[in-house]
Structure 1
Amino acid sequence: MKNRINSTYVLELLERLLLTPSPSGFTQNIMKLAGEQAEKLGFPMTFTHKGGGIITIPGKDDSRVIGLSAHVDTLGAMVRSLKPNGTLRFTSVGGYMMGSVENEYCQIHTRDGRSYDGTILTSKPSVHVYPDARELKREEAVMEIRLDEKVKSADDVSALGIRVGDFVSFDPRAQFKENGFIKSRHLDDKAGVAALYGLIELLGREKLVPSCTLKLFISTYEEVGHGAAYLPPDIDELIAVDMGAMGDDLSCTEYDVSICAKDSSGPYDYAMTSQLIRLAERDGLSYAIDIYPQYGSDASAALRGGSNIRAALIGPGVHASHSMERTHSEAIWNTIALLAAYVAEPCDI
């Protein structure tokens, strides 16, 4: 199955997704892109009140519906206050280490449609000036954004149209290497979104009809915990497609599709997880089974939100999650291939 994936399409779409700012709550532009892509593939997208997208693909059996979810929202920030010296204090959107965004380029997006460039620094950014610059604890209270504008006061900043509550996006610094490595911020979960669209493109191009009707759910608030808290009520089971974590006590690599057996929301569905493992082994896919106690997904949100579903979690392995992330294209191909195998199987497992 992997050799039938349109790798050029997937990687080009992934780059466009990465270059489109979309911190949680500021996803209107990327959802427009997602809707246009779905339309081009022949499967129009409908939208929820929260701004998420639903793509329906009819199956051979329309009495059961399999949901596949991925989230386009990312980590980011919002302007918390305008400081007297013309810098911005910010508040985080999503959970990340402050040290992971220090010295990062960013954009401030005003509510009247303007964008301004800046850099995230501590309030003591130079070792030549501040003797405690190295030891300073990296936390919100000491972080600020230096604007690339001639500003010396809060009034100067206000004159640019920047206000409290404006969104801040981080420069993804996306790079696609010839050897297959992809390094960028926000591979969590734009690599998962690209994998879902790779599946849709494959189904449409080869005129493959899934066993059950599929509803692909593109969520917009996953990084703040309630992305798929609402699901269409006809969904019977949900596979969340999100990044696989790497590190101590974990077996996932940047080449694998991760199959998560348990995360902070508890164990995932036994039958679904077992089926995913069986299919990965049958098709010779590089995969890993892991437990992520400090991780939550769209499936977690759906279960906690009261959805009467079975749920599972898979996705491409990503190193340094919520920091300067990296994966390999092989992990994305393995993810698409496992999804394609799953949706081709009989509906009842």
Structure 2
Amino acid sequence: MKRKIEKKYVDYLVKKTEEIINIDSPTGYTEEAASFVKNEFEALGFNAYYTVKGGIIVEFGGKDKDNGLLLEAHVDTLGGMVSKIKSNGRLELTNLGGMNPNNAETENVKVITKFNGEYEGTFQLNDASIHVNGKYNEQKRDWDSCEVVLDEDVKTADDVKKLGIAIGDIVCFDPNFRVTKSGYIKSRFLDDKLSVGILFAYAKYLKDNNITPERAIYAHITVFEEVGHGGCGSVPEGCTEVISVDMGCVGEKLDCSERQVSICAKDSAGPYNYNVVKSLIKAAMDNDIDYAVDVYPFYGSDAEASLRAGNDLRHGLIGAGVYASHGYERSHKDGAENTLRLLLAYTTD
């Protein structure tokens, strides 16, 4: 059936997206975000539990437990790690996931120490004053040419070490979340926390409307997607299908916009299951959902990780259109709503 989504569910998913985005969770540092996820799903009345790796499995219920569907989204994000304390008191970083210095330059950061709290700083080009550095414009931005300038009175490596900052400490980049009057959602890490917000709204809709799906539905909120093994384990028994709810790509040679839900037919690892893709398209068509079908040139998903781990599953990938992926990203309330509507149409109609 064609289902309208009340505005309150879109408002709810945007609110929850903002809340989870403002919890720092670079790959390898996700405990607080995972705890938030678990508590939110439990507050909505669903059983949720931790995996050994630190992700969250959620049980949405369903009658047919031998034909289960697993929805995967991830709460881990890009970030950095201290790899060197430089002699001038600055920090050299190594990336966590696909963090790119080209679009992280001048961003505010937090350095999370293991035993001595956290410190603020800014990720800058080495010798970042354009009035001093005559080669500022031509200098390549990479992990060797950029550094964290701490907002502390430090001038030497020993000064930094006295603060308790050490090699291996996590560095979190500010997300800078905002929603415009025209409905655009802008932030770092919409990949994939916008999808987590959508799954919160999906759960709330099921609860509010007393919906029990015909087939068993689960969610796995993974915590290592950005490094490729988030979905490699913890597939609930009886699942025959997995769908990654991740960002949809927006860019040249692609049809999707930020206001649509993207259905991925193929990415860098190969085609998604033909019948799953076809069924997702039919659900979108039958319910007047604004969608696009695209091929992503440089992309991998939790669903593929689940298959590579040896699970015998059909797989698919959908998500709200997101522009400027792995940078300062942009989507739209309409894209999130269309993704939520497609999830409901596919799993409950």
Please state whether the residue corresponding to 2:346 is helix, strand or coil: helix
1:210, distance to aligned residue in structure 2 (A)? 0.9
Q: Is 1:320 the counterpart of 2:324 in the alignment?
A: yes
Q: 2:300: which partner in 1?
A: 296
Q: Which residue of 1 aligns with 2:242?
A: 238
Secondary structure of the residue aligned to 1:68 is strand
1:231, 1:307 within 8 Å by CA — same for their partners in 2?
A: no
Report the residue type matching 1:321 in the other structure.
Answer: S
Corresponding letter in the other structure for 1:246:
V
TM alignment of 1:144-155, pairs within 5 A? 144-155=147-158
Query: Helix, strand or coil for the counterpart of 2:294?
Result: strand
The Cα shift of 1:231 comes to 3.2
Q: State the SS of the aligned residue for 2:200.
A: helix
Distance 2:70 2:12 in 1: 23
Question: Per-residue CA shift, 1:284-327, capped at 9, x if unaligned?
Answer: 11100000121001012112222111100000000100011000
Change (3 A) 1:113 1:304: farther
Partner of 2:266: 262
Q: Which residue of 2 is the match for residue 57 of structure 1? A: 60
Matched, 1:137 2:140: yes
Runs of at least 5 residues in structure 2 that lack an aligned partner in the other structure: none
Aligned structure 1 segments of 4 or more residues deviating by more than 6 angstroms: none
Q: Find out whether 1:19 has 2:22 as its counterpart.
A: yes
Query: 3-state SS of the aligned residue for 2:192?
Result: helix
Q: Of the candidates 280, 290, 304, which is equivalent to residue 276 of structure 1?
A: 280
1:191 paired residue number:
194
Aligned to 1:95: 98
Matches within 5 A, 1:118-133: 118-133=121-136
**In 1, are the aligned partners of 2:110 and 2:121 still within 8 Å (CA)?**
yes
For the 8 Å contact 2:264–2:295, the answer to whether it is kept is yes
Aligned partner of 1:285 in structure 2 is 289
Per the TM alignment, residue 77 of structure 1 is displaced from its structure 2 partner at its CA by 0.4
* In 2: Cα distance, 1:164 partner to 1:309 partner: 40
Q: Quick one: distance in 2 between partners of 1:178 and 1:135?
A: 37
TM-superposed CA distance for 1:139, in Å, is 1.1
DSSP 3-state at the match of 2:27: coil
Deviations 1:68-93 (A, max 9, x none): 01000001000001111111000001
TM-score (norm 1): 0.97
- Counterpart residue type for residue 3 of structure 1: I
SS state at 1:111 partner: coil
Q: Hey, what's the Cα distance between the residues in 2 that align with 1:125 and 1:116?
A: 20
What is the root-mean-square deviation in Å for CA atoms of aligned residues? 1.1
Q: Distance in 1 between matches of 2:29 and 2:108?
A: 18
Cα displacement (A) at 1:112: 1.9
> Hey, what does 2:346 align to over in structure 1?
342
| Letter paired with 1:14 | T
Alpha-carbon distance between aligned partners in 2 of 1:274 and 1:96, rounded to the nearest angstrom = 33
Normalised to the residue count of structure 2, the TM-score between the two structures is: 0.97
Q: Deviations over 1:84-132 (max 9, x none)?
A: 1111000001114311000111111111261111100111212211111
Aligned residues with identical type, % of pairs: 42
Question: Structure 1 residues 239, 113: closer, same or farther in 2, change over 3 A?
Answer: farther
CA distance in 1, matches of 2:192, 2:268: 18
Cα distance in 2, alignment partners of residues 83 and 263 from structure 1: 40
Contact in 1 for aligned 2:116/2:163 (Cα 8 Å) = no
Q: Secondary structure at the match of 2:221?
A: strand
Instruction: Please tell me the residue identity of whatever aligns with 1:264.
Output: S
* 1:174 equivalent in structure 2: 177
Indicate whether 1:84 and 2:101 are aligned.
no
Task: Please tell me whether the aligned partners of residues 10 and 336 of structure 2 are also in contact (alpha carbons under 8 angstroms).
Answer: no
Separation of aligned partners in 2, 1:40 and 1:175: 26
Distance 1:60 1:308 in 2: 21
Q: CA deviation at 1:233?
A: 4.8
Counterpart-to-counterpart distance in 2, 1:272 and 1:225:
22
2:150 counterpart letter in structure 1: L
Measure the CA separation in 2 of the matches of 1:248 and 1:11. 27
Equivalent position amino acid for 1:210 in 2: P
Contact 2:116 2:164 in 1 (8 A): no
1:134 & 1:333 partners in 2: Cα distance? 41
Question: Which residues of structure 1 form unaligned runs of 5+?
Answer: none
SS in 2 for 1:317: strand
Cα gap change, 1:29 to 1:113, in 2 (>3 Å): farther
Q: Which amino acid aligns with 1:90?
A: L
Task: Please give the alpha-carbon distance, in whole angstroms, between the structure 2 residues aligned to 1:164 and 1:325.
Answer: 29
Deviation at 1:220, TM superposition (A): 0.3
Contact 2:89 2:154 in 1 (8 A): yes
- Indicate whether 1:29 and 2:36 are aligned: no
Instruction: Give yes or no for contact 1:268–1:313 (8 Å, CA) kept in 2.
Output: yes
Tell me, yes or no, if the aligned pair for 1:65 and 1:236 is still in contact at 8 Å: yes
Q: How many residues align?
A: 345
Contact 2:79 2:99 in 1 (8 A): no
Amino acid aligned to 1:323: G
Letter in 2 for 1:13: K
